[in-house]
Structure 1
Amino acid sequence: MKHETAPASHLRAVGGKATALRFFTICARNFLPSARLLCESLRQAHPDAVFTVYLCDRDMGYDPVPLGMRIEPLEALGIPALERMIRSYNITELCTAIKPYCFLREFAQAQGDDPTPHVIYLDPDIEVFSPLTEVAEALDAGAQAVLTPHVLHPAERAEFEDDHFLRFGAYNLGFIALRNTPEVAEVMRWWGRRLVDQCIIDLPRGIFVDQKWMDLLPAFLDDVHVLRHPGYNIAYWNLHERRIHGPEGALQCNGQPLRFVHYSGIILEDTDQLSRHSRVFHVSNSFGYGPLVQRYRARLTAPGNRRLRNLPYAFFWNGARGKNAHSPGAEADTAWSRPETFLLARQAFTMEQYLGFLTAEASEIENRRATEAALVPRGEEGRNGFHFSAYCAVCGGRHSMVTSFLYSGETYPDGTPVPNWREHVACASCGLPNRVRASMHLFLQEFEPRSDSRIYITEQKTRLFGWLSGRFPNLTGSEYFGNRVPKGGLFEGVRNENFEDLSFQSESFEFLLSFDVLEHVPHPERAFAEAFRVLEPGGRLMFSVPAHLDRYPSTIRAELAPDGRIIHNLPAEYHGNPVDPEGGALCFRYFGWDLMDMLREAGFPRPFLFHYWSREFGYFGPGQALFVAEKPR
């Protein structure tokens, strides 16, 4: 779908010009195949409209290019309470809670000659059959909002009677169209505030996620158009009053053009039942709806969609309350097992995206620095270090975090040293520092490795290797001993490997982990190529390095000349080395964003970084980042 807009032939011109249309949907990764089918049907009906998918999930684990859709990450919405919402909401609640923020972003994205487009939301499990002419005409004629009621007539003897909609809402929020006006934007901000904590299913209190709130829309806005057209929003709740008929390409419902069908609650298994929410209607008695379900189901379950549909939801399927009445069948959380340990780590694929976050969240970042400063004792009291309490996701409990001023590189205005938060905040129980605990936290949370996963880590004489080896029997570790033993050989019981020339067979591992090692490798581009080689298709490289995230080029501190000489461009800097505690390991570079180019050249198409900060876990300091690259399947 084109990103630029042009008048569509069916729109009634206002002042000689038709208003642009922008469509969007919201889904988790496993619903991307549904979103793609929606996109394809919209392209047929509205070839010049803009269509965006807002991904209520992690923006990883898939290749967006073949999908052919504009996909925006959750973080792009700038929701102030996002972390709290992720912690508390189940998948249904979170996907619906972000809807007003998506509308506000769509309004803000308007550009060019038409700064006030009409914005239309559609659930991802919808298929459009013809242009939404009546919606565009209503908005062009001055309506500020268009809603579709669940039913068009009294339903006293239907499967879902009238009182059902008194509890769940008069209008189905699988569709809502809004005009970009100041009054509408103000209502969206109100809606967004309410949905931070009250996008739940609480029927006794009259709340049904985002939907029931919109019963108030006609009271808050002038010119709310209730679209009583039988060709819109056909689903299990109104099949008793809808009849689909006509030839392919010119389908009608009750004698009027069929606009879109909503496959809510579709059962993907090949059964006669149409929706998990209905026990009355089946393929054989659904008045033309059943054959459409069968065709849609066949496309959705095509082999090419299988991997996407099986991608796990990154957050909490059942939410903090441990239930999801609207989406049953997933009794156990598919991701991290303890909601209280969830770390909200934001993703950035480009330097511009990362710097944009810093700009947008300047006040939040200032609060973070103030929180850190308040922990640091002043005067002589804490000169030898200090402690504070935080949750260690490695140990699985709250522990004292031992903090020192070793290698402090700056001071506060009163002269007190600023701790090296990245390296010198260690859990008193496991001994692992800030960056290592955070790396393990994200590794377990985001990738859910199996106990039998094949993992290679570029260290072996460390506490981290000991901790991992007790949990993953197929773990392989190594250190670098140079030419003291052949690559792949053992030196005092420790494997010798050169990251630039590994001894392993191709496609040997599911995960390759490396934490603050690559800055000591003279040619990191060779190491990335080796990582790509030894990872199996779909395997992931996860690593940390010292990095300047505000600049593109890496800072080359030293180089290895062809004749073996070390050329120092800056004063030599040595880091801790378990193989040579006295001499350390020479740091060749501090990385910039050009490392993403190295990863892409090695074959990883879409590398990104996680950036994070957390008072709860003691992950302090600016620029905390973990890099991830996935080998294509």
Structure 2
Amino acid sequence: MTDIFDKTPSKPSKEPGMIVFTICSRNFMGYAQALWESLKQHNPDVIFHVGLCDEVGDFDVLTHPFEIIQISELGISRWEEMVGRYDITELNTSLKPFLFLLLFSRYPGQPIFYIDPDILAFAPFREISNLLDDGANCVLTPHVNGPSEYAEMNDQQFLRYGVYNLGFCLLRATPEVRRVVSWWARRLETQCVVDLEHGLFVDQKWADLFPAYIDKTAILRHPGYNVAYWNLAQRLVGQDNNGDWTVNNEKLRFFHFSGNKIENENEFSRHTQIFTIDTIGDVKDILAIYRLAVERNGHAYYRGIPYAFNWGHEGRKNVHTPASMQADRQLNASHIPHLPLEFIADDAADNAREPLPAWAAQRRAVDQNIRKKAISGIEIEGFCAICNEARHFSDPGLLEHPQPSVWSQNFICNTCQTPSHTRAVAKLLAQTNAAPSARRIMTDHPALLTCNWLALKAEVIPFQEKATSIDVAVICDSLDEQDLAIKFTQAFTAIAAGGHILVSYPMPLDTQLKDTLRRLLKTVGFSEVRMAFYWSEKLCHFGDPQIILIGHKPAQTDKFLSPAVLHVPIDKYSDK
């Protein structure tokens, strides 16, 4: 089972870019981030959006490495009526056509993907690319590809719930499609309900009409798309000789974990009695991958955020998403905010992670406001990853020099005195599955040596030249470039094969310095060097870019390190 250090980083791809959106409430953001992470792994050029079906409140919307679209941006004239009418399932699904219309206006003529947040991608969507090349304006996936009269989910069920599963839907932004989606949006203002007696099942039943209404609608029957409990009777999941996941000997493209309760390791889906954790075969391993991804992306924190609207509905039972699930999740949730990180491979261009202009502008506006407060001596409220408690933060440098050229990474916790870049490394360790299993962590920062929660997870020792069998080396207390060169070499010697080094620089990294540090790490012997970008108002990480460099020590290496490397100026490693 892999963790965040071991997963394959995103690299430039020849696959075409994708414009994707999902819809969720705040409590489901861990799922949305896991979906984005899986899509980006197989298509690094993905443009990802989350439609937030919730109140924003104090939710840290700008911390995420993708755009969060708020309800106020959708222009829904009957929104208050919909809030009073719908439960959480109905309200979330009712937003789908409105988000399509918004993105149609942003990306005229382009294909727009909708994908449910409880989905994980396992390979590029090549078959869809081929359909788009052939001119498809709409792509749908049927629940099943053949008669299922004897299955738990039989033919009659699909006549009630819909022929096509709307956990996935692709629509191209053409005038014809826009007219149909506008019609769909009008229907969902009042008729996005679970009312099987009258032929309605939220947004999904309406899609049965799409092939009749949209020219060039493609029905994607490839077994590797939208695999879920409703079609497992017809789809055999396994692995090929290369370790790739397959379905009926075709590539698995994405799996839909509908009805899964992530907290319960023994439950596959609450919507089926036939397919259980004991009867799903190799799907059990896929489920483990999914659970790990959602948990790694902050589910322990997000699950505790209350939903702002009607979970159920007076007089009607929410059969799809029981309210008891959220009550249990809130009871057992963590109070520690999550820090979303965006990982970029060493050979990816830095502009591959440039945020959308509006998103970048909003972050800069927050940065400027925080800077003004700090200059005025106002303490900033936030959460400290070292103290594991809400704390106050300040930037002493701003008080002494109100107009510094560098300020964004100097916010310290007023209790433990730990600076931003060190708190970020601590948060990364807390969020990875490597931290609990790592036997030894070596660090050059005293705050990590005395961090109580870290000491419970691993043996933490000070940076020392003769250390051995280190799992993770953390360097975040060095400004001198020559000192970094020495520590990189010491770390490579101390780290066990397969271990990692984390480097968090106490000042912003410009392109030249990033390149220098990356090349030095590789010269010493580290491979798969990547960057983790972060920003968070709740955790008091301001300014862009803020970066953690991550290097991997190969399992086998024949590199001989001369002691002379310790005395070569760092600029010798830069390109001239």
Give the TM-score range, shorter chain: 0.5 to 0.7
Shift of 1:127: 0.5
Contact 2:21 2:48 (C-alpha < 8 Å) held by counterparts = yes
Shift of 1:221: 1.3
CA deviations on 1:218-245 (whole Å, 9 max, x unpaired) are: 1111111111110000001011111111
Q: 1:200 aligns with which of 173, 193, 196?
A: 193
Distance in 2 of aligned mates of 1:533 and 1:238: 46
Distance in 2 of aligned mates of 1:235 and 1:292: 11
**TM-score (structure 1 length as normaliser):** 0.51
Contact 2:312 2:323 (C-alpha < 8 Å) held by counterparts = no
Report what 1:284 is aligned to.
278
SS in 2 for 1:197: coil
Distance in 2 of aligned mates of 1:267 and 1:100: 27
Q: 2:66 aligns with which of 62, 66, 69?
A: 69
**Residue 286 and residue 228 in structure 1: after superposition, are their counterparts in 2 closer, same or farther (change >3 A)?**
same
Report what 2:321 is aligned to.
327
Distance in 1 of aligned mates of 2:245 and 2:383: 53
Asked whether 1:221 is paired with 2:214, we answer yes
Q: 1:105 aligns with which of 78, 102, 120?
A: 102
CA deviations on 1:275-328 (whole Å, 9 max, x unpaired) are: 010111122321422211122123323594311121111111113545312101
Query: Which residue identity is paired with 1:130?
Result: A
Report what 1:386 is aligned to.
none
**Residue 204 and residue 266 in structure 1: after superposition, are their counterparts in 2 closer, same or farther (change >3 A)?**
same
CA deviations on 1:57-97 (whole Å, 9 max, x unpaired) are: 12244434554222121211121111221222111111100
**Residue 233 and residue 190 in structure 1: after superposition, are their counterparts in 2 closer, same or farther (change >3 A)?**
same
Report what 1:486 is aligned to.
none
Report what 1:246 is aligned to.
239
SS in 1 for 2:39: helix
Structure 2 gap segments, 5+ residues each = 1-10, 329-357, 363-371, 393-409, 414-419, 421-535, 541-576
Contact 1:87 1:316 (C-alpha < 8 Å) held by counterparts = yes
Shift of 1:270: 3.5
Distance in 2 of aligned mates of 1:331 and 1:206: 27
Report what 1:296 is aligned to.
290
Higher alpha-carbon deviation: 59-68 or 74-83: 59-68
Query: Which residue identity is paired with 2:162?
Result: G
Distance in 1 of aligned mates of 2:44 and 2:325: 41
**Residue 298 and residue 10 in structure 1: after superposition, are their counterparts in 2 closer, same or farther (change >3 A)?**
closer
Asked whether 1:32 is paired with 2:29, we answer yes
**Residue 524 and residue 310 in structure 1: after superposition, are their counterparts in 2 closer, same or farther (change >3 A)?**
closer
Report what 1:81 is aligned to.
78
Report what 1:567 is aligned to.
none
**Residue 143 and residue 80 in structure 1: after superposition, are their counterparts in 2 closer, same or farther (change >3 A)?**
same
Contact 2:27 2:303 (C-alpha < 8 Å) held by counterparts = yes
Query: Percent of aligned pairs with the same residue?
Result: 41
CA deviations on 1:1-26 (whole Å, 9 max, x unpaired) are: xxxxx996345xxxxxxxx5311100
> 1:254-265 to 2 correspondence within 5 Å?
254-265=248-259
Report what 2:39 is aligned to.
42
Asked whether 1:142 is paired with 2:135, we answer yes
SS in 1 for 2:378: helix
Give the helix-richer structure, 1 or 2: 2
Asked whether 1:230 is paired with 2:223, we answer yes
Distance in 2 of aligned mates of 1:260 and 1:174: 11
Q: CA RMSD in A?
A: 3.7
**Residue 226 and residue 303 in structure 1: after superposition, are their counterparts in 2 closer, same or farther (change >3 A)?**
closer
**Residue 601 and residue 193 in structure 1: after superposition, are their counterparts in 2 closer, same or farther (change >3 A)?**
farther
**TM-score (structure 2 length as normaliser):** 0.55
Shift of 1:630: 8.2
Asked whether 1:209 is paired with 2:202, we answer yes
SS in 1 for 2:230: helix
Report what 2:123 is aligned to.
130
Query: Which residue identity is paired with 1:289?
Result: V
Contact 1:130 1:260 (C-alpha < 8 Å) held by counterparts = yes
> 1:373-388 to 2 correspondence within 5 Å?
none
Higher relative contact order (CA 8 A, sep 6+): 2
Contact 1:282 1:290 (C-alpha < 8 Å) held by counterparts = no
Report what 2:91 is aligned to.
94
Asked whether 1:272 is paired with 2:266, we answer yes
Contact 1:234 1:261 (C-alpha < 8 Å) held by counterparts = yes
Contact 2:63 2:537 (C-alpha < 8 Å) held by counterparts = no
Distance in 2 of aligned mates of 1:61 and 1:161: 45
> 1:417-436 to 2 correspondence within 5 Å?
none
Shift of 1:201: 0.3
SS in 2 for 1:285: coil
Contact 1:537 1:632 (C-alpha < 8 Å) held by counterparts = no
Contact 2:23 2:50 (C-alpha < 8 Å) held by counterparts = yes
> 1:434-583 to 2 correspondence within 5 Å?
529=378, 532=381
Structure 1 gap segments, 5+ residues each = 1-5, 12-19, 335-348, 354-522, 541-599, 606-628
Shift of 1:28: 0.5
Contact 1:139 1:178 (C-alpha < 8 Å) held by counterparts = no
Distance in 2 of aligned mates of 1:187 and 1:30: 31
**Residue 199 and residue 304 in structure 1: after superposition, are their counterparts in 2 closer, same or farther (change >3 A)?**
closer
Contact 1:118 1:179 (C-alpha < 8 Å) held by counterparts = yes
Contact 2:76 2:98 (C-alpha < 8 Å) held by counterparts = yes
Distance in 1 of aligned mates of 2:286 and 2:374: 51
Query: Which residue identity is paired with 2:303?
Result: R
Contact 2:28 2:303 (C-alpha < 8 Å) held by counterparts = yes
Distance in 1 of aligned mates of 2:120 and 2:326: 31
Higher alpha-carbon deviation: 212-221 or 247-256: 247-256
Distance in 1 of aligned mates of 2:377 and 2:301: 26
